[in-house]
Structure formats: structure tokens, C-alpha cells
């Protein structure tokens, strides 16, 4: 079995190595890190990297049992490839499904404006037929600068601060959804709220391992 992962930040490499090991996955893991794709998508729009990203995902799909795109901004491009190669998975689809199973009004937090539209679009696509949803989108201003500076503790703390302020101002949501994989460290800062805090990497790892084992059976 082979699981290939396309990342736009190197920090996801050890995260997924650990998650796959915890799930007793014994196959091959291939990491491809392309930070430039996210940088260009932020500066010039996702269309500017569409052809290159799609070609890369198709190349990975030809050689792997499962491919996971771990960048939320590039998620729509993964969906385009998945239309022809269903073993390609965008990282945030499983977490969106889990959030809507908890209720129609999740608080969806994100730290990049380039993530807003693809995140809300995939959440809408995951809604059951006839299900009316009312997500609360929260941009965590200032957090990404801390991520870029390598201050992961400060990054997590800033995300948590923004979420606490939002809940204080507008009340409790059905759950908290941390839309970007890099945001998972904020979950520990929110444990006392008594709300389910969902992060994408563990659920994507669950799905990827299940898909790989099914294809190998």
C-alpha cells in the first residue's frame, strides 16, 4: 500500500507520519512538500496554480493507492482530480462531514482568507440533501503571521483567543471546526469550553488508511 500526501508546509510531514503510525498503517508513505503552491495561490489566486497542482495530483494518483491533499486552499483542485480518480482526498472533507453530524451551525475558524471560500464550499457540499446549515465563519486575524514566524505556540494561542471572543460575543455553536491542518494545536487551548473541537488531520488519516486498506483487499 502507498499513501501519498501533498503538503504546502513541511510541518505536516511528521504530523502525518505519527498519525499513520498510530493507525497501524504499515505501507509506504510518500510526502511531497510544495510551499510555493500556497504562496502563489494566495498572491495570484488558486487558478494560477491549478494546472500545475492538478498535474502533480494526477501523477501521485497514478502511483499511489490514496492521495491526500493537505492544503485547504488547494482543496477544490483535489476535488477536480477526484472526479476521475476517487482515491484522491482533500484533507478537510472528513472533518466537514463530522462537523455537520454534530449540528447545522458549526463555528468554522480559519487563518487565511484564501481558505474561506473553499472551506465554506466543501462544507455546503457535505450537507445532507435538504439539510439547512448555518455555519459561522471566523477569520482569526493576526494568527498566520505567527505561523510564518515559526511561533506555533503563539499561533495556537491567537486562534484560541479569536474563538473565545467570538463565542463570548455571539454564543455557543454546535461545534468548533479548525479548518486548516496547521490549526490543530489550538484544540488544547479550547478543551475547557465543553464543545467538540474538530481538526482535519486525524480524520483525514482515518479516511486515508481505510481507503488504502480497501483498495489493497
Q: How confident is the model at residue 130 (pLDDT cuts 50, 70, 90)?
A: confident
What would the mean pLDDT of 120-143 be, rounded to a whole number?
A: 91
Q: How confident is the model at residue 215 (pLDDT cuts 50, 70, 90)?
A: confident
> Which residues neighbour 186 within 8 Å (Cβ) at sequence distance 6 or greater?
109, 155, 156, 157, 159, 160, 163, 178, 197
Quote the cell numbers at residue 116: 474561506
Average pLDDT, the chain: 95
Judge contact between 141 and 113, C-beta under 8 A: no
Q: How confident is the model at residue 129 (pLDDT cuts 50, 70, 90)?
A: confident
Q: How confident is the model at residue 16 (pLDDT cuts 50, 70, 90)?
A: very high
Weakest mean pLDDT among 81-85, 126-130, 132-136: 126-130
pLDDT at 217: 80
Q: Greatest CA span in the chain, whole angstroms?
A: 50
Please state the pTM of the whole predicted model. 0.91
What would the mean pLDDT of 96-118 be, rounded to a whole number?
A: 94
Residues present in the chain in total: 217
Quote the cell numbers at residue 130: 435538504
Helix (H) or strand (E) holding 202: helix 200-216
By the 10 Å C-beta count (0-12 exposed, 13-18 middle, 19+ buried), 204 is classed as buried
Residue 20: C-alpha distances to residues 25, 139, 150, 198 (Å): 5, 30, 24, 18
Which of 89, 50, 90, 104 shows the shortest CA–CA distance to 179? 90
Which of 123, 111, 78, 114 shows the shortest CA–CA distance to 182? 111
Quote the cell numbers at residue 110: 480559519
pLDDT at 131: 85
pLDDT digits (tens, 9 = 90+) for 174-203: 999 999 999 999 999 999 999 999 999 999
What's 183's DSSP letter?
Answer: G
What's 166's DSSP letter?
Answer: H
What percent of the chain is modeled with pLDDT above 70? 100
pLDDT digits (tens, 9 = 90+) for 19-37: 999 999 999 999 999 999 9
Amino acid at each position: 500500500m502507498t499513501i501519498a500526501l501533498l503538503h504546502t508546509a513541511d510541518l505536516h510531514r511528521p504530523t502525518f507520519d505519527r498519525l499513520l503510525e498510530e493507525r497501524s498503517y504499515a505501507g509506504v508513505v510518500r510526502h511531497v512538500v510544495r510551499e510555493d503552491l500556497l504562496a502563489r495561490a494566495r498572491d495570484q489566486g488558486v487558478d494560477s496554480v491549478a494546472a500545475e497542482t492538478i498535474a502533480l495530483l494526477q501523477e501521485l494518483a497514478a502511483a499511489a493507492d490514496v492521495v491526500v491533499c493537505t492544503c485547504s486552499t488547494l482543496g477544490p483542485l483535489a476535488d477536480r482530480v477526484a472526479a476521475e480518480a476517487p482515491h484522491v482526498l482533500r484533507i478537510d472533507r472528513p472533518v466537514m462531514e463530522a462537523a455537520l453530524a454534530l449540528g447545522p451551525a458549526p463555528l468554522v475558524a480559519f487563518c487565511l482568507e484564501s481558505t474561506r471560500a473553499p472551506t465554506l464550499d466543501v462544507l455546503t457540499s457535505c450537507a445532507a440533501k435538504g439539510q439547512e446549515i448555518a455555519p459561522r465563519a471566523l477569520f482569526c486575524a493576526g494568527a498566520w503571521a505567527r505561523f510564518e514566524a515559526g511561533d506555533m505556540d503563539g499561533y495556537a494561542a491567537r486562534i484560541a483567543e479569536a474563538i473565545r471572543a467570538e463565542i463570548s460575543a455571539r454564543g455557543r455553536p454546535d461545534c468548533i471546526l479548525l479548518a486548516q491542518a496547521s490549526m490543530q494545536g489550538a484544540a488544547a487551548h479550547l478543551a475547557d469550553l465543553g464543545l467538540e473541537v474538530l481538526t482535519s488531520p486525524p480524520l483525514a488519516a482515518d479516511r486515508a488508511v481505510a481507503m488504502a486498506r480497501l483498495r489493497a483487499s
